[in-house]
């Protein structure tokens, strides 16, 4: 073997070894979760896509594969979720609160295996500065669909066992990063129904000076419901999308 081939072989072996270690770090495990998070892990193991949303991926396989990180941590006010507000200049979902996440890149790998796990962590790091080593992935929800943008989204559940500083990394993409306590998300006073100009209504949360609606609110609503955290709230209360006006 020539020196050049030897170097290439060594580089390929190193790359393969790095990929193997990276894949091992992407293991999904509910071991060691705090007791309050166990109901979410149990629900993730049994819930069906139809129980989460009426918008399901096209049977044709069309759609842009993506993933979001649904990250639970524990802050000063107890359990909380990491959220971000998208920049108002973006073409898709501008100004809308969301989970960190985005499209799968080719290097993320197969969307049916570890691709969504890697994409969720990578996007969270790129958007919020999150240190992925402080996150334990403990569940994956069924893939859902966002018709307006054509995204097929895999929600990946994480436990933020070692919090790291976060903030808007690129203001062109992210306006701000914030956490919303589960106590506020389940408070009936912070819950409402939002009606889109198309006429479609869906759950909404008014937390941390933000109106969380759309796909993100739908996922939170179903998690809260199936985890047994939901409290009775007034579903007839409607909030307009321009609620700050």
To the nearest 10°, report the CA torsion of 243, 216, 34, 160.
Answer: -100
DSSP class of 236: T
Q: Determine the pLDDT at residue 137.
A: 98
Distance CA 202, CA 218 (A): 7
Q: What pairing do the DSSP bridges indicate for beta strands 191-195 and 201-207?
A: antiparallel
Residue 231 has a pLDDT of: 97
Confidence (pLDDT) at 166? 97
* Nearest alpha carbon to residue 65 among 16, 131, 118, 20: 118
Residue 161 DSSP label? S
Q: Quick check: 103 and 64 in contact, CB under 8 A?
A: yes
Residue 28 three-state SS: coil
Q: Do 58 and 69 meet the contact criterion of CB atoms below 8 Å apart?
A: no
pLDDT tens for each residue of the chain, 245 residues long: 333 343 444 444 443 343 433 454 689 999 999 999 999 999 999 999 999 999 999 999 899 999 999 999 999 999 999 999 987 655 555 578 999 999 999 999 999 999 999 999 999 999 999 999 999 999 999 999 999 889 999 999 999 999 999 999 998 888 999 999 999 999 999 999 998 877 888 999 999 999 999 999 999 999 999 999 999 999 999 998 876 54
How far, rounded to the nearest angstrom, does the alpha carbon of residue 187 sit from its chain's CA centroid?
Answer: 21
Please give the model's pTM, rounded to 2 decimal places.
0.87
pLDDT, residue 25, reads 61
Q: In what order do the strands lie in the sheet with 201-207?
A: 210-212, 201-207, 191-195, 238-239
CA–CA dist 37, 14 (Å, integer):
37
């Amino acid at each position: 073997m020539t020196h050049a081939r030897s170097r290439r072989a060594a580089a390929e072996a190193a790359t393969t070894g790095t990929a193997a270690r990276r894949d091992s770090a992407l293991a999904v495990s509910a071991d060691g979760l705090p007791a309050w998070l166990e109901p979410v892990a149990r629900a993730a193991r049994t819930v069906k896509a139809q129980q989460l949303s009426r918008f399901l991926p096209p049977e044709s396989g069309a759609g842009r594969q993506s993933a979001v990180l649904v990250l639970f941590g524990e802050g000063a006010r107890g359990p909380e979720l990491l959220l971000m507000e998208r920049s108002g200049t973006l073409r898709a979902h501008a100004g809308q609160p969301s989970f960190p996440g985005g499209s799968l890149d080719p290097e993320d790998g197969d969307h049916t295996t570890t691709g969504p796990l890697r994409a969720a962590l990578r996007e969270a790091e790129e958007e919020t500065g999150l240190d992925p080593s402080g996150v334990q992935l403990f569940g994956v929800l069924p893939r859902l669909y966002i018709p307006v943008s054509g995204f097929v989204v895999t929600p990946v559940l994480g436990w933020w066992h070692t919090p790291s500083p976060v903030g808007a990394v690129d203001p062109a993409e992210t306006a701000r990063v914030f956490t919303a306590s589960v106590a506020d998300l389940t408070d009936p006073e912070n819950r409402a129904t939002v009606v889109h100009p198309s006429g479609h209504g869906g759950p909404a949360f008014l937390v941390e000076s933000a109106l969380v609606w759309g796909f993100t609110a739908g996922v939170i609503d179903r998690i809260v419901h199936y985890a047994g955290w939901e409290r009775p709230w007034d579903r007839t209360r409607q909030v307009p999308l321009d609620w700050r006006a």
